[in-house]
A and B are shown apart, each in its own frame.
Chain A
Amino acid sequence: MPTIGVLALQGDFEAHLAMLREAGAPGCEVRTAQAMEAVDALIIPGGESTTMLRLLRREHLWNALAQFGARKPIFGTCAGAILMANEVSHPQQESFAMMDIAVVRNGYGRQLDSRIVLLHPEPGHDAILGTNLEAVFIRAPIISRVGPEVEVLVRYNGDPVLVRQGHHLAASFHPELTTDHRIHAWFAASVRKHNSVTNSL
């Protein structure tokens, strides 16, 4: 069974690990390049993207993560999605360009604008994800543009909030802060699939 690591430099990595346990795919914390090398997929949690970027640079994890993303699946939530985007504004900052999306940091505003809403996946995706996804937005970024390769799974007020490109997945909200582990279970299943395909090559 493939192992999913959670980048644990900072943020709500414990919430992701607990969610993975509930989804039947226990994961592990990743703080070093060696630990990253040992996992089959990675979750980049919510937290502060600026803090994560600086630690990735200073602790020499930048190249390891970039190379990881080229080969293996990554799921980013909130700050994680910001790191995966190819264009970040408000303010502009560097990122890994793993997905063809543009994000506006804190696009929904400050903490007073944080909110919890019920969302329904786009037609065609409700069969996999079901309906009534509780989406927790905390100082969340807005995904303002998606490229032609990007599939929008869920929207809120017209903006994409859960998107997929190849084996990568990004959410501007926090599925890890709910009781609903459907998205984590679905990611774990797609990792298993990805692994069986790459292993059989």
Chain B
Amino acid sequence: MEPMNGRPNFAEKISEFRRLSDEQRKDFKLKVGLAEMLKGGVIMDVTTPEQAAIAEEAGAVSVMALERIPADIRKEGGVSRMSAIKMIRGIQECVSIPVMAKARIGHFTEARVLEALGVDFIDESEVLTPADEENHIDKRDFRVPFVCGARNLGEALRRVGEGAAMIRTKGEAGTGDIVEAVRHMRTIMKEIRIIQGMRADELPTAAKNHQAPLDLIEMVHRTGKLPVPNFSAGGIATPADAALMMSLGAETVFVGSGIFKSSDPLRHAKAIVKATTYWDDPFKVLEACEDIGEPMRGQSVAQTPEAELMAGRGW
């Protein structure tokens, strides 16, 4: 088989490799296709139609509608659930870019409701309180695409096996501390390189060690990348953070609390969009860094009690 590098028919070749039926192939391609459209952009957390309008004006490629931004969930505690339908509808009506919303891990009924509402992407997210401590949602069964968080390659491939069309690092949402997103992105990229360098007869053991489906491990071996787009989330607070994640291999960034906890959200959001597009041009990133006011104060992950960390939710 020819090498599968290059993107145009990547989804196609993966479908062929996984022996998907024609219907499954089209389904996979449409889901991954929307993720392709978001590349090189910034997806912003918003809690009101007004914030969504600011995000769109700043140049966001998509908005994530949620009831409270992660920094507030962290502060206020309680059970975090799927957002109020009225709020999501309000956001859908107010912007023309794709609207994403979060469902609790394993809560397939919340996901069905969001699908019925016509959201463009569902995030099965550790930021909300998990609904199932054993099973994630069987995402193959949905027509709407899903994004899921991961801390390492095995977790990413388990989610892809369940049907996720996009993977993002978990990072540590709501902290404004980039350290976990960096750790997760570096881990995923390093594990991909190790798999790539293995002999074919070592892959079954690698699959066992990563607790990941063998066919997906074989695909990573062959292509040197995840089978779906690889985005980054969790702690990105400044333009420099966004550019850092792009340099480490992220194809797009999610920014949650970083924007609406800053002193001037519109300016801050514009600067992050600029730094994400021009991540490999230090002069442009410099301009972006000059443009912002006070970033969110943040909370160091190292000083956060274990029980308050979100990345450990899901497996």
Tell me the B residues contacting A by CB distance below 8 Å: 6-9, 11-12, 26, 29-30, 33-34, 36-41, 56-62, 96-98, 115, 118-121, 143-145, 270, 273-274, 277-278, 281
Contact = CB atoms under 8 A, between A and B. Distances in A.
B34 A55 contact: no
Nearest to B95: A50
B97 A14 contact: no
A142 B6 CA distance: 29
Contact of B96 (A11, A58, A91, A116): A91
A15 interface: yes
B144 A112 contact: yes
Contacts of B145: 111
A15 B29 CA distance: 13
B36 A139 contact: no
B286 to A, nearest CB: 14
A13 B40 contact: yes
Q: Which 10 A-B pairs have the closest CB atoms?
A: A18-B6, A111-B120, A179-B9, A54-B59, A12-B36, A18-B8, A19-B8, A10-B40, A48-B61, A14-B7
A47 B37 contact: yes
A105 interface: yes
B34 A139 contact: yes
A76 interface: no
Contacts of A179: 8-9, 12
A138 B30 contact: yes
A133 B145 CA distance: 25
Interface of A: 8-19, 21-22, 31, 46-48, 50-51, 54-55, 58-59, 78-79, 90-91, 105-106, 110-112, 114-116, 136, 138-139, 174, 176-179, 181
Nearest to B35: A12
A89 to B, nearest CB: 11
Contact of B8 (A22, A55, A111, A116): A22
Given A10-B40, A105-B96, A112 B277 contact: no
Contact of B37 (A16, A17, A58, A138): A138
Contact of A11 (B11, B39, B278, B281): B39
Nearest to B5: A18
Contact of B56 (A16, A50, A110): A50
Given A18-B6, A111-B98, A139-B34, 19 more contacts: A12-B33, A12-B36, A12-B37, A13-B39, A15-B7, A31-B277, A47-B37, A48-B98, A50-B59, A51-B97, A51-B273, A55-B273, A55-B277, A112-B118, A114-B33, A116-B26, A139-B37, A178-B12, A181-B8
Contacts of B281: 31
Contacts of A19: 8
A195 B34 CA distance: 34
A112 B143 CA distance: 7
A127 B96 CA distance: 38
B115 A116 contact: no
B96 A106 contact: yes
B120 A47 contact: no
Nearest to A12: B36
B23 to A, nearest CB: 10
Contact of A9 (B56, B60, B277): B277
Given A12-B36, A111-B121, A112-B143, A48 B12 contact: no
A90 B144 CA distance: 23
A11 B33 contact: no
18 contacts: A8-B40, A9-B277, A10-B41, A11-B40, A47-B40, A47-B41, A51-B273, A54-B58, A54-B59, A90-B96, A110-B98, A110-B118, A110-B119, A111-B30, A112-B115, A116-B26, A136-B29, A138-B33
